[in-house]
Amino acid sequence: MLLENIDGLMLCLGHQPVDTLGAELAGLVPFDRIGDCLAPRTAEEAIYEGLKVAWKL
């Protein structure tokens, strides 16, 4: 397969939650977790979660 005129490439190699930063920040500053740090999500779900957090500001 040959692809031409490509400006970007996104690889989706599976979903695995990563929340190491959340563990480091816990108790230090207020924050909300969204997206794949909680559990595997679609981009649409993560965007919606971000919108819900923004509404709280």
Which pLDDT value is given to residue 19? Answer: 78
User: Is 33 within a domain?
Assistant: yes
For the question of whether the overall pTM of this predicted structure is more than 0.75, the answer is: no
Q: Which domain covers residue 47, as residue numbers? A: 20-56
The pLDDT > 70 percentage for the chain reads 89
d(CA 49, CA 34): 6
Which pLDDT value is given to residue 1? Answer: 67
Which pLDDT value is given to residue 55? Answer: 96
User: Is 11 within a domain?
Assistant: no
Domain count of the fold of the chain: 1
| Residue pointed to by tokens 């031409």 | 4
d(CA 6, CA 1): 13
d(CA 39, CA 36): 5
User: Is 51 within a domain?
Assistant: yes
d(CA 1, CA 21): 39
Query: What is the arithmetic mean of pLDDT over 26-37?
Result: 87
Query: What is the arithmetic mean of pLDDT over 6-31?
Result: 80
Please report which confidence band the pLDDT of residue 28 belongs to, taking 50, 70 and 90 as the band edges: very high
